[in-house]
Amino acid sequence: MRSITTFDIQYAHRFYGFKGEAQYLHGHTGVLTIEVEDTVNPGVNMVFPCNEIQKTAWNVLKNFDHALILREDDPLLPAVLGVYEKQGILTGHPQNTMKGEVFRTELATAYPDCRLVVTKETMTVEGMIKIVYELLKDKLNIAKLTFTSGVNAATQEYPVKGTIDRCPLCGIALKNGVCPKCGYRK
Ligand SMILES: [Zn+2]
Ligand SMILES: [Zn+2]
């Protein structure tokens, strides 16, 4: 069975080199849906608690929220970094408190200190799905990702291999047979 949870992500981007309106910097509220597949854990009668999926995913997804997402070859990138540097906000600011976990994958690098994500490919809804899968595939049993932004939407299904050992009392993933939340031992 699947546990399904959604996230709102507000971001700014543009399609560099695209022949259309999207070549101009603009913003969206994107909605990401994560479907996690596993057996139903008999102790809690859930696949996985959705608030725990949210916590795990948001740790990294926070980097995209209220952030600017630019492709690595976009000339806006050095221009924006130059302005941030002049303003003294490139390496952080006390009011920038929504910082996610730093990440660098083949497809994207997060700079939480200045609320920026640099991508290898254009950040379309399809591009976002590829980035998110890469970031979360080892943390969650992802069966399907869907991302919608304005009138655009994309979805991808993934084969799920194996099952995650979960706590029968609170449902979260066990670490070396111990529940990090309630201390249950297998
Ligand atoms: Zn857009
Ligand atoms: Zn537990």
Ion ligand 2: residues, CB within 5 A, are 167, 169-170, 179, 181-182, 184
Q: What is the pLDDT of residues 16-40, one digit of tens each?
A: 999 999 999 999 999 999 999 999 9
Is 162 among the domain residues? Answer: no
Strands 2-13 and 67-71, by their bridges, are parallel
Q: What is the pLDDT of residues 2-17, one digit of tens each?
A: 999 999 999 999 999 9
Q: How far is CA 10 from CA 24, 69, 85, 87, 148, in A?
A: 17, 11, 24, 23, 12
Please name the amino acid found at residue 95: Q
> What CATH number does the domain containing 119 carry?
3.30.479.10
Is 86 among the domain residues? Answer: yes
Which residues 6+ apart lie within 8 Å of 8 measured at CB? 29, 30, 31, 65
pTM of the model as a whole: 0.94
Is residue 4 within 8 Å of residue 33, measured between CB atoms?
A: yes
Is 169 among the domain residues? Answer: no
Among 180, 179, 134, 166, residue whose Cα is nearest residue 38: 166
Where the chain has pLDDT below 70, the residues are none
Is 173 among the domain residues? Answer: no
Structural domain of residue 34, as residue ranges? 2-157
Count of domains in the chain?
1
pLDDT for residue 112: 96
Is 88 among the domain residues? Answer: yes
Ligand index nearest the alpha carbon of residue 15? 1
pLDDT for residue 161: 84
For helices 125-136 and 50-61, angle between their N-to-C axes, nearest 10 degrees: 110
Ligand index nearest the alpha carbon of residue 185? 2
Interval between CA 22 and ligand 1 midpoint (Å): 6
pLDDT for residue 53: 95
Is 182 among the domain residues? Answer: no
